[in-house]
Amino acid sequence: MALVEPLDDEQLNRVWSPILSPLAWDLGHIANFEELWLVQRIGGREPLRGELGRFYDAIENPRKVRGELPILRDEELRAYMADVRERTLDVLEGVEIGPDVEDPLLRDGFVYEMLLAHELQHDETMLQLLQLVPGYEPGRGAGHLSPGQTPGQLARRFEYPPVREMPRTPDTVVVKGGSYEVGAPANGFAYDNERPRHMVELESFEIDRTPVTNGAYVSYMEATGAEPPLYWERDGGGWVDVSRGRREPIDPAAPVIHVSWEQADGFARWAGKRLPTEFEWEAACGQLEGVGHGWEWTSSHFLAYPGFEAFPYREYSEVFFGDEYRVLRGASWATHPRVARPSFRNWDLPQRSQIFSGIRCARDA
C-alpha cells in the first residue's frame, strides 16, 4: 500500500503497457492469492467473492487483457484486500506450523513464506510499471516497519536509483573447474524450481567481479549501433534516464539496467566474452560485487532440475520451463532482501527490458 499511496484510482486502473498489468490487478491478485492458499485451502472457508478468483489467475489472463477484466477497483478493491487480510489473521490463529506437521503446505510455515514472497515479488512487478508513471515517487510516509525490520531496510527498498558503490578497477574472479553444488537445500523456504539441490560439473571459467557499467554500454552502442537500454533518451551529446518522467543524466559509473537478454548477449560478444551460465553464476556468487543493482542475465534457459517436483502448483514454474525464457540471477534494487538468495531463479523473455536487468560477463578460463 505504501508503494501505491501516491496514486489515485484512475492511475491504479489504467493500462500503462501491454506487457504489464494495471496496478489494480496486481493488488487484487495479491489478495486473491492469499485468500486462495490460506483462507480457502488452509482455513477451509468459502471464497469471499465467488468466481472472482478466475480473473486473478495469471495463466488464464495474460497481462495484455487484464485491463478489460471485471476485476475489483477503487473502494471495492480496498475493502476486499482488508477483508482477506482479516480472515488470514483469523486463520493464522488456529493453525499449527512446524517441522513435524504433516501437510507440506504448513510444514515449516511454507505457505506463509510463499505468500510473503509472492507479495514481495509483485511489489517489484508494480515498481516496473511505476517507472512509466510521470512524477512517481514512492510514498515513504505510508511505510511501516515489521518486527525485526530496520528503517534502513525499509528505505533501501524504496531507494532510487541504485547507489551501492562500485569498485574502481574491473577485474575477474577465476573459478576452477570441478563439481559444484547448486540449488536450494531441502529445508527452509525456496520455490520448487530451485530444487532439488544437486551437483553440476563446471569447466574452469572467469567471471567479472562487477557488472557492466552504463559507460561501457555506451561504448558498445557507439561501436555497433546497438539499441539503448529502455528509458534512455539522447540529450545533446549524452544520454538521460527518462523513467518516471524525469530527465536525469546517466551516470557512466553505475551498472547498466533495463537491457534485454539480446542486448546483454550482444554486449558480451562485442567485449570478447559471453554471459555466464546460471550455475557458473551460482558457483561464483560468493565472490561477486555489485549484486543487487540489477538482475543479471545468464545464458541458461529456464529448465527443470533433475528430479524436479512441482510444488505447490504447476503454474508457478513448470508451465514456463523450456527454451522460450532465459534465467536471471541475483536481485535488483527493487527486490526485497527476503526474496534474494543465491539459488533464486528469475526468468523472462529474451527481448524484454522492463525488468531491472543488467549484465555481467564471463569467459572460458
| Options 88, 125, 213, 243; binder of ligand AVJ; rule CB under 6 A | 125
Nearer residue to ligand AVJ within complex by CB, 339 or 359: 339
Question: Which among 82-90, 115-123, 209-217, 240-248 is the span making contact with ligand AVJ, rule CB under 6 A?
Answer: 115-123
Nearer residue to ligand AVJ within complex by CB, 142 or 349: 349
Q: Which residue's Cβ lies closest to ligand AVJ?
A: 121
Q: In the bound complex, what is the minimum distance in angstroms from residue 345's beta carbon to ligand AVJ?
A: 8
Query: Using CA atoms, how far apart are residues 287 and 307, in angstroms rounded to an integer?
Result: 29
| Options 66, 118, 195, 329; binder of ligand AVJ; rule CB under 6 A | 118
Q: In the bound complex, what is the minimum distance in angstroms from residue 190's beta carbon to ligand AVJ?
A: 13
Neighbouring C-beta atoms of residue 320, cutoff 10 Å: 15
Nearer residue to ligand AVJ within complex by CB, 108 or 318: 318
Q: In the bound complex, what is the minimum distance in angstroms from residue 123's beta carbon to ligand AVJ?
A: 10
Binding to ligand AVJ, residues 46-85 (CB under 6 A): 58
Q: Assess 121 for contact with ligand AVJ (CB under 6 A).
A: yes
With cell 500503462, the residue in question is: 16
| Options 88, 332, 346, 354; binder of ligand AVJ; rule CB under 6 A | 346
Nearer residue to ligand AVJ within complex by CB, 125 or 131: 125
Q: In the bound complex, what is the minimum distance in angstroms from residue 346's beta carbon to ligand AVJ?
A: 5
Nearer residue to ligand AVJ within complex by CB, 111 or 218: 111
Nearer residue to ligand AVJ within complex by CB, 316 or 321: 316
Nearer residue to ligand AVJ within complex by CB, 20 or 200: 20
Binding to ligand AVJ, residues 312-331 (CB under 6 A): 316
Q: In the bound complex, what is the minimum distance in angstroms from residue 347's beta carbon to ligand AVJ?
A: 5
What is the bridge-based pairing of β-strands 295-302 and 357-358?
parallel
Residues that bind ligand AVJ in the complex, under the rule CB under 6 A: 58, 118, 121-122, 125, 316, 346-347
